[in-house]
Amino acid sequence: MKRGVLVLLFLSCTTVANLKRPAWVRSTVQGWCGSTLALDAEQQVWFERGCENGTVVLGLRHRASDEAAQRVQRAFDALQNGVECSAPKGTRSRVEYRLLAEADGGSWSQCGTDGGEPFTTLDAAFDAL
């Protein structure tokens, strides 16, 4: 009986992989710690933060306003597709922005390590969620 309850709890967890799509995701890694902020297709805002915690299980924050969701979507439109994300040499810090496409399960990533545009606008949009 306990095993069934644990399996049910695990299956009901929200992860980046099972967000309702399309979804817009910002993941920040600093050393062994990181955080993830995501906006799903239903404008639900999801968040997680931790250190060395393996699988990222997201907690529901709230529902974003139409204006806030559109701001994130517009900021993503300014990004270019297809950049591999890796930490610069000598550091474990990086920021990765991901768009998880609709039904086909595809996605693309863009790294923002320099802090310039279009990342400043994108970070402001995510921070306003």
- Domain positions in the chain are 15-127
Q: What is the mean pLDDT of residues 15-25?
A: 90
CA dist 98 and 76 (Å) reads 9
What would the pLDDT profile of 34-84 be if each residue is shown by its tens digit?
Answer: 899 999 999 999 999 888 766 778 999 999 999 999 999 998 887 766 555
**Closest among 105, 20, 17 to 63, alpha carbons compared:** 20
- Of 129 and 112, the structure prediction assigns the larger pLDDT to 129
* Residue 128 pLDDT exceeds 80: yes
Spatial contact of 38 and 16, defined as CB atoms under 8 Å apart: yes
Residue 71, judged by CB atoms within 10 A of its CB (0-12, 13-18, 19+), counts as buried
Give φ, ψ of 6 to 5 degrees.
-65, -40
Q: Supply the pLDDT for residue 25.
A: 92
What would the pLDDT profile of 84-117 be if each residue is shown by its tens digit?
Answer: 565 555 566 778 888 887 766 567 677 765 567 7
Would you give the distance in Å from CA 9 to the centre of its chain? 22
